[in-house]
Structure 1
């Protein structure tokens, strides 16, 4: 492997959960070690309650405040804060503010970025996601694809299961 740089405007933005995610590093360019995804999470944005069976997840807040629930613990992370969630722990994150926030999601080992590629819709740069992107059917589809990437929610038949954050 050779060193390289990824510029701020590089990567394909994807709409998912009414948020915009851009894969910056993937398993192909890190030898499977880590994937990093930049997220712009709108007010109220974030995924449903889930776990990753085979990957640790790290959240790094660049701008705004991110609320992360991991098991029974709730963290309020500010710019510069990291939150580490080991594999096998149910978790979710949410932007509870009225402004979009900017975060980095890191997965180790890499591979979960495939979920974003397969589930997300190619976004228009600088355009917020249309409201129809996140609905009950989108949740069901994400849950089904998530299983392929060893990410699960507690009750497959009820995709709206989501502890309050």
Structure 2
């Protein structure tokens, strides 16, 4: 078995784009994301609500402020590495500002944000794409973590229902 090595920051040009990263890193393997994020509308407020998509049963409600950073992370089912998306609360929307992952493959958007590699992890910042909510099918098998300003203890993902469609939204 051949072990893959990851490029370091010093190996990459300063003006790295996603397209160049794919070429430079040689990562063209297909990636099937079993827990894709889909997005829906929401209301305004100063709380982050975690609820069931269909029944709207609320599982958690935590206070947030404009500028709070919400992280939504999981272990990717194929790559077996952590994927983390970070959103900034902007009133009644969540602004995707950063995403981090270890493997880059097919199906990834190409020309968005500023791409770098930090300690072997691909980091894309300056995305600034607004979402009204984050939707996913929750699974206890992928070690979901939800953070508010770095605190992953406010919403315990292990206590959320398994194999159910959930959403996070300002409300």
Normalised TM-score (structure 2): 0.25
Normalised TM-score (structure 1): 0.26
Question: Whose radius of gyration is greater, 1 or 2?
Answer: 2
Higher helix fraction: Structure 1 or Structure 2? 1
